[in-house]
């Protein structure tokens, strides 16, 4: 095989000026693999010459692609504000700026400045959070899944937890409540039927080995028709009477009253907190609109017990989470909702959305798009089946082809009735000019 002799030697190949200044070990590896695959192609007689220039280009491209960030900012024009696949809630730039000195410097994360000794990392958010939720104590862990696990492991290991069959949900990403309970060491005592659970079902399930009565928010599904569940107040009272812990996994807790009557089918956080629950937990990055975290609130005695569990070390949050969460909580206390993009987007009214869509349409050209009314959902496994109004820009043309082209430009829209829509419900004003530019590029306009 004469061609094989024309294959470059790796050492000499990478000394080409094109590769100057690049990291040698990585470059050597990429070059070796490229030359090896060319050797195989020659042996299989798939190539008839060795083109060193194109080999150089290929190696350079592979090297450059290696350093491209894998995580890319997207424009979410799906209309789904809490998009599970696109990072759930957003952090506003102003909150990020406020947290930046903590993230980029040493801090008193676990240092008591008064005493000059070791301090407690969880104290930094607990003061503000207790104030916001009006509870005795709080604890923040990695996410709400971790909160569920920690609570069950601490209080119900080898003991029974009574849960309604209608609440044994799978949240998505294969997080199944029954599986998590099993892993935590808790024994699941299911009560009721899928569609109906009554207070007596809970009462009859209580035995010496019961540790807890648990309620789980149904999250991403809703039951219609012949169904019944037991409200938290009743569960709480029953637990109290029997000296048991009551725990409500809320999934997505939220503070203000939601627009479009979105919260009317469930008890609000305020109503639940008014029952003085032993423990509740919810996600930091669902409707609460902050960072990924699991927020646990309840009685001081129980929170103290959670803090003593060695597992907490594995589930703990770092300074980036704590500093951003602290800023979100302060924004809530100041009712500065514009600093919480999840809420800001949800609270935009249809008139404002229409004005924004019309402005974008005018910039693109009225010939290429229409402003249409539609409905959307919150997403993130919250508020199932609850649609609310939105406004979208319908880009004229073949929907599937447009969807793909926009996606290639990192704009994710949606297709409805074979129309490609860019939904304004999930669009921050700060991305509008980029969106206009992308529309022009995709449609090949000046
Ligand atoms: C979303 C959800 C969880 C998991 O929360 P993460 O923050 O995603 O870990 C647990 N329970 C319920 C009811 C949920 O809706």
Model confidence pLDDT, tens digit, residues 17-71:
999 999 999 999 999 999 999 999 999 999 888 999 999 999 999 999 999 999 9
Q: Name the residue of 83, 140, 144, 279 whose CB sits within 8 Å of the most ligand 1 atoms, as the mutation to test its pocket.
A: 144
pLDDT above 80 (res 226): no
Q: How many CA atoms lie within 13 A of 383 on its CB side?
A: 24
- Nearest atom within ligand 1 for CA of residue 252: 15
User: How much is the average pLDDT of 299-324?
Assistant: 97
Q: Whose CA is nearest to atom 6 of ligand 1?
A: 144
Pocket of ligand 1 contains residue 283 by CB under 6 Å: yes
CATH code matching the domain that covers 93-337, chosen among 2.130.10.10, 3.40.640.10, 1.10.3720.10, 3.90.1150.10: 3.40.640.10
User: How much is the average pLDDT of 265-286?
Assistant: 92
- Nearest atom within ligand 1 for CA of residue 175: 4
Q: Are 381 and 251 in contact (CB under 8 A)?
A: yes
Q: Percentage of the chain with pLDDT > 90? A: 85
- Nearest atom within ligand 1 for CA of residue 283: 7
Mean pLDDT (the chain) is 94
Q: Name the residue of 170, 219, 222, 290 whose CB sits within 8 Å of the most ligand 1 atoms, as the mutation to test its pocket.
A: 219
Q: Whose CA is nearest to atom 12 of ligand 1?
A: 251
Distance (Å) from CA 11 to ligand 1 centroid: 53
Specify the pTM: 0.92
Pocket of ligand 1 contains residue 298 by CB under 6 Å: no
Q: Whose CA is nearest to atom 13 of ligand 1?
A: 251
Kindly provide the b/e burial profile for residues 198-236, where b requires at least 16 CB atoms within 10 angstroms of the residue's own CB.
beebbeebbeeebbbbbbbbbbbeeeeeeeebbebebbb
For residue 130, give both structure tokens: 């207790």
Q: Name the residue of 171, 292, 325 whose CB sits within 8 Å of the most ligand 1 atoms, as the mutation to test its pocket.
A: 171
Pocket of ligand 1 contains residue 438 by CB under 6 Å: no
Give the number of other CB atoms < 10 A from CB of residue 55.
18
Pocket of ligand 1 contains residue 175 by CB under 6 Å: yes
N-term to C-term CA, the chain: 54
Which residues partner with 295 through β-bridges?
A: 140, 282
Q: Are 245 and 281 in contact (CB under 8 A)?
A: no
Q: Percentage of the chain with pLDDT > 70? A: 99
Distance (Å) from CA 323 to ligand 1 centroid: 22
Q: Whose CA is nearest to atom 1 of ligand 1?
A: 251
Q: What whole-number distance in Å separates Cα of residue 235 and Cα of residue 246? A: 7
Pocket of ligand 1 contains residue 137 by CB under 6 Å: no
Q: Do domains 75-82+343-442 and 93-337 have the same CATH topology?
A: no
Distance (Å) from CA 147 to ligand 1 centroid: 9
Q: Residue 367: CB partners within 8 Å, gap ≥ 6? A: none
- Pick from 94, 138, 146, 100: nearest CA to 120: 138
User: Domain residues of the chain, as ranges?
Assistant: 2-66, 75-82+343-442, 93-337
pLDDT above 90 (res 380): no
pLDDT above 70 (res 173): no
pLDDT above 80 (res 271): yes
In CATH terms, is domain 75-82+343-442 a member of 3.30.930.10? no
Distance (Å) from CA 295 to ligand 1 centroid: 11
- Nearest atom within ligand 1 for CA of residue 382: 15
Distance (Å) from CA 284 to ligand 1 centroid: 10
Pocket of ligand 1 contains residue 89 by CB under 6 Å: no
Pocket of ligand 1 contains residue 167 by CB under 6 Å: no
Pocket of ligand 1 contains residue 210 by CB under 6 Å: no
pLDDT of residue 364: 96
User: How much is the average pLDDT of 226-245?
Assistant: 92
Residue with tokens 């709080």: 138
pLDDT of residue 243: 97
């Amino acid at each position: 095989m004469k061609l094989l002799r024309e294959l470059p030697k790796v050492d000499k190949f990478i000394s080409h000026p094109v590769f100057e200044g690049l990291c040698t070990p990585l470059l050597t590896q990429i070059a070796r693999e490229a030359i090896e695959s060319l050797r195989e192609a020659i042996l299989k007689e798939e190539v008839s010459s060795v083109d060193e220039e194109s080999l150089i280009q290929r190696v350079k491209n592979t090297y450059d692609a290696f350093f491209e960030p894998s995580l890319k900012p997207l424009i979410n024009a799906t209309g789904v504000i809490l998009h599970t696949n696109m990072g759930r809630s957003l952090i506003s730039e102003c909150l990020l700026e406020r947290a930046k000195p903590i993230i980029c410097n040493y801090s008193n994360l676990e240092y008591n400045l008064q005493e000059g000794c070791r301090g407690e990392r969880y104290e930094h958010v607990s003061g503000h959070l207790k104030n916001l939720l009006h509870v005795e104590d709080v604890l923040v862990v990695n996410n709400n899944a971790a909160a569920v696990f920690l609570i069950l492991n601490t209080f119900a290991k080898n003991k029974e937890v009574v849960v309604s069959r209608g609440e044994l949900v799978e949240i998505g990403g294969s997080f199944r409540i029954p599986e998590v309970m099993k892993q935590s060491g808790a024994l699941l005592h299911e009560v009721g039927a899928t569609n109906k659970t009554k207070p007596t079902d809970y009462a009859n399930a209580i035995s010496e080995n019961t540790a807890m009565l648990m309620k789980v928010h149904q999250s991403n599904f809703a039951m219609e028709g012949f169904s019944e569940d037991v409200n938290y107040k009743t569960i709480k009272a029953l637990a109290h009477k029997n000296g048991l812990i009551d725990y409500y996994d809320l999934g997505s807790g939220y503070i203000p009253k939601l627009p479009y009557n979105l919260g009317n089918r469930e008890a609000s956080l305020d109503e639940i907190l008014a029952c003085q629950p032993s423990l509740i937990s919810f996600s930091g990055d669902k409707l609460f609109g902050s960072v990924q975290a699991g927020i646990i609130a309840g009685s001081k005695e129980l929170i103290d017990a959670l803090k003593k569990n060695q597992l907490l070390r594995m589930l703990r949050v770092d300074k980036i989470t704590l500093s951003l969460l602290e800023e979100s909580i302060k924004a809530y206390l100041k009712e500065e909702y514009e600093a919480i993009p999840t809420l800001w987007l949800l609270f935009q009214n249809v008139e404002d959305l229409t004005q924004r869509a019309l402005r974008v349409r005018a910039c693109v050209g009225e010939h290429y798009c229409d402003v249409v009314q539609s409905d959307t959902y919150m997403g993130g496994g919250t508020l199932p089946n609850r649609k609310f109004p939105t406004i979208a820009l319908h880009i004229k043309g073949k929907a599937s082809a447009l969807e793909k082209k926009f996606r290639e430009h990192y704009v994710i829209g949606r297709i409805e009735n074979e129309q490609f829509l860019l939904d304004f419900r999930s669009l921050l004003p700060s991305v509008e000019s980029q969106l206009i530019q992308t529309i022009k590029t995709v449609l090949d306009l000046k």
